[in-house]
Amino acid sequence: MDDGIGWRTRLNREFESQFPQGTFHFAVGNGWSELLGEVFRRVDAVEDEEERVFFAWADIKEKWGLLRLTHNGSDRVDDICDWAEAASERICDGCGLSGRLRKDGLWRVRCDACAGS
């Protein structure tokens, strides 16, 4: 896995047009880095030129254990967010392997190994 600083910088640079406000803080665990990368790729693919100019992510965070994405984009981006938020329920936010939602003080999606640590 990545070092936790690396993937954030990498995604900010690769999908620069989606972060017009500059360096974006992704308030999620390292295990969701691949999922976010896929979200940004899909958004890039559905946007037309006009959308691309105005699009910006407002918030990318974990809430009640699941991924929560907010943006100023179209319904097509909403569909991608719905998919990703549902997918996050099965991806360990610690390591990216298959996990499930658990309550251990806080709600988190964790695999067995990460749940124990």
What residues contact 11, with CB distance under 8 A and at least 6 apart? 26, 33, 36, 37, 40
73 lies in the site for Zn ion, by CB under 5 A: no
Identify which of residues 46 and 95 has a Cβ nearer to Zn ion in the complex: 95
**84 contributes a contact to Zn ion by CB under 5 A:** no
Contact between 43 and Zn ion by CB under 5 A: the answer reads no
**DSSP conformational letter for 26:** -
Contact flag: residue 101 with Zn ion (CB under 5 A): no
Residues in the chain: 117
- Asked if 28 is part of the footprint of Zn ion (rule: CB under 5 A), the reply reads no
Q: Does 94 bind Zn ion (CB under 5 A)?
A: yes
Listing DSSP states for 28-55 in one string gives S-GGGHHHHHHHHHHHHHH--HHHHHH-
Q: Which stretch binds Zn ion (CB under 5 A): 15-23, 32-40, 51-59, 85-93?
A: 85-93
Footprint of Zn ion (CB under 5 A): 92, 94-95, 111, 114
